[in-house]
Structure formats: C-alpha cells, structure tokens
Amino acid sequence: MSILKGGLIFVSLIFAVHAAPSEDLITSLPGLKSLPAFKQYSGYLDASPTKHFHYWFTESQRDPSSDPVVLWLNGGPGCSSLDGLLSENGPIHVNNDGNTLYMNPYAWNKLANVIYMESPAGVGYSYDDHNHVRTNDTAVAKHNYAALQHFFKKFPEYAKNEFYVTGESYGGIYIPTLAYEIIKGKQFNFKAFAVGNGLGSYRDNDDSLVFFAYFHGLFGETLKNNLVQSCCKGSFTRESCSFHNAETNACSNCVQEVFTLVYRSGLNEYALYLDCEGSNSRSIAYRFTMDNLFRNLETGRRAQVFSQKMLSSQPRLGEDPPCTNSTALRTWLGKPEVREALHIPKGLPGWDICSKAVSMSYVRVYQDVTPVYKKILANSDVRILIYNGDTDMACNFLGDQWFVSDLGLAEVHARKPWYVKSQVAGFAREFKRLRYTTIRGAGHMVPQWAPEYSYSMFEKFLKDEPFTR
C-alpha cells in the first residue's frame, strides 16, 4: 500500500469517526425562509431490534463541540417530545397558522446541544416493526437508554461531552428511571437531570391537589369541612388527611367533587390564572395528563367526570385541553413536505401529540419513584433539579415539595426567592446535590409560559450555580 493511499484511508477513517450522519441532516424546513446557522438532524435511533425512536437533534448555537448534550422528554405517558421542541424550549416554533415557523429567543440550544426524542414506540413518528406498542416504566427506561447508546454511535464526536437529561410531567417517572440506567451503564459523561412539573408520587400529587385547590379559593368551607369529616382525622393537614386512598364512600364523593372542580368547571388546569384558547386537537394530551390524578377513584366515577358536559352555563371552548392549542403542530408536522424534510418513512401514520394506543396499554410500574432517587443519590454524584410552575394543577408544586422533603436530604440553603432582571423568578430551596425551585406564575409547561425564567434556570442548572446566595 502506498503512503499516499494509506494516508487517504486514515483521513477517511478519521472523518467517518467524527462526522455526524449526513442522511439525517435537515437541509430545509417548510415555513422557514432559510435555515439557521446551527445544524439540525432528524432520523431514527434503535431502542431495540424492532423499536425505532424518532429524534430531532439541534446543535448548540454557541460551541457544539464543547457544549453539553441534553436530552428532552415530554410525558403522558405516550406524548411526543416534539411538543417540547416546537412550542416550549426548542429553537424553532410553529406559528398559529400551522404553516410558518419562527425562532425562539429563549431556546435551550443557545447553551447546549439538545436531543428531542419521541418515546416510547408508537408515539409521534416513533414505531415498532410489528406495531407492538404495549410497554411499561421499566421497559421504557431500558429502551430510552438503548436509543441514547445508538445516538452516541451516530454522533461519536459528542461522546465525551457532558450529558444531561431533562423533561416534564410523566417525565417525573421517565427521567429518574432512565438516569439510573445511565448510571449503571457507566458509558456517558452523565452530570445531572432535571424534572419539571413531574409526577414523582401519585399519593403526594393527589393529596396535595386538594390543599392547592382550597388555598387557591377553588372551593369553600362547606366542602372543606366535609373533607375533614370524611377523609381526615380531625384536622385539615397532610398528616391527618388521605384523599389518594378514599376509604369510605363519603370521602370518595368529596374527592370526586374536588376532581370535578379541577377538571370540569372551566378552569385552565395546566395554568390556573390563564384563560382558555380552545381548539380541537390537544384534548388527548390534556386527558393523558389528568389521567394521572386520583387513579384510585372508582372507575365509574372517573368515567362520569371525564364524559360529563361543562358544569357552568358556558360552552366548552372546543375539545382542546385546558386552554392550550396544538392544532398548528399537528398541521405542520403532517405536511408531506415536512415529513420528507424530517426523513419520516412514507408508510407511517400521521403525527399526533399523543398516542391512545400507547397510553391505553401502558403499564405503570412505579407509584412513587422515591426509591429510585435514593438509589441514584447513594450510587452516584449526579446532581438533580426539580422545578414547578406554581400555577399548575396537573402536577402541582406542593406535591413535589413534599416529595423532595421526604427524601431526607441535608438542607444547604433555606427557601428564598431568586431573581431574573430584578424580578422574582421563583422560590428555591437547596440540598446537597439536589435543588428545588418554583417558577413564579408559570403553569405545567414552564418553558412555554415562562421562557425567560426557564432559560435562566436552565443556565444555572448546566453551570451548577445556586439559585440563592
């Protein structure tokens, strides 16, 4: 072999090792006049021999080679992470017309390389070769980990970068279980994970919602006194009351009344103080989220609440979830030219924000992920951030505060406000290796409804900076 030929082979091998997959490169996006300077990729990651997860990867706008790599997961279970990209913290958002796009000034990829992965199979444009979409918490964690391994094979140039996992809602289950798989695998430069408005404990989420509703003025003394009499041991406190496990019909009736007020009275259950937009395409996402509440209520009672008409005299503003609107996402992502730009196989069905098939067959292994957190804290030096928009009633801040307190960690800084541009952004409490903060005025989707505060929080998270001093 000549020196010249050997040198060319060596150079080509180096190029192959360090080159991102050209077949996944996004070269155009319908609705955007010109692509931004940073690169984006869309394609598939193998989660198993038959399961293929669609991903959309946005390189950092700053320094891709040295900036962290961050995974983002939406919840459900069964909802698409493209919602996070296109309406929350991604660099490109869809306008309400469903045809045009605009740049997000608070995109998280201004600080990091961000992977948006549609998980599990059956969600969005992810699929299983045999259409087997029944799954569970444990399987999803293992499949997400396998998909990440494939990502770093596709993008070996990022294998040594710091790695973070983030997400929201049912991500409260997805993320810590995935984090523990990563810790056991010891393959990534894993630094920390963040959970926003997450479901960590069904009991905490249910019990705290009743207190949240009362102290936000959603019901009065009559219902409160009935709850105390039927569900509590003499006083309206966390220690005295059990709403999650309603042990009598009287208690169950009172809890159902609270559930009905939250779900069907016309409030924006994702963001208490925001009005409803209304539309027709995202009721399924809302339904999935609300299905995480009061699962111990008798099935017929839950079905009655979910099916009944509005309790007020005003008509419901369409079928969309509480006052959010994702018609534009479905419209844009369903366009043939968009599917082609994202390298979506032609045989796949249309995109939807959530999958009924996945959700209806999903097996919930964890009722409380406290043991998972304790294993993570005992077996690694991984940092944790838990945050809540403080007006959300799907996964409310009080339940997550209880969850954090019950971990029994040593407190480093007591609860104090923190600021963005001299305004209170939230209230943070800091422990060794774990930080908890509220985001003032935000609802369930913090990056969507408090983008500047969310961006500042994300920057502190990556830099391991305290919220309070």
- List residues with catalytic annotation: 169, 392, 444
Cβ pair 294, 302 in contact under 8 A: yes
Helix axes 221-231, 249-264, angle to 10 degrees: 140
* CA angle, residues 411, 416, 418, in degrees to nearest 5: 120
- Residues with Cβ within 8 Å of residue 318, at least 6 apart in sequence: 278, 279, 280, 283
Write out the H or E segment, with its range, that includes residue 11: helix 3-18
How many Å is the maximal CA-CA distance in the chain?
91
How far CA 299 is from CA of 90, 364, 452, in Å, comes to 38, 16, 41
Cβ pair 61, 38 in contact under 8 A: yes
Q: Can you give the length of the chain in residues? A: 469
Q: Residue 203 and residue 242: Cα distance in Å, rounded?
A: 9
Q: Residue 297 and residue 299: Cα distance in Å, rounded?
A: 6
Q: Which of 408, 407, 395 is nearest to 438 (CA)?
A: 395
Cβ pair 191, 68 in contact under 8 A: yes
Backbone CA torsion sign across 124, 128, 134, 138:
negative
Buried b (16+ CB within 10 A) or exposed e, 93-128: bbeeebeebeebebbbbbbbbbbbbbbbbbbbbbbb
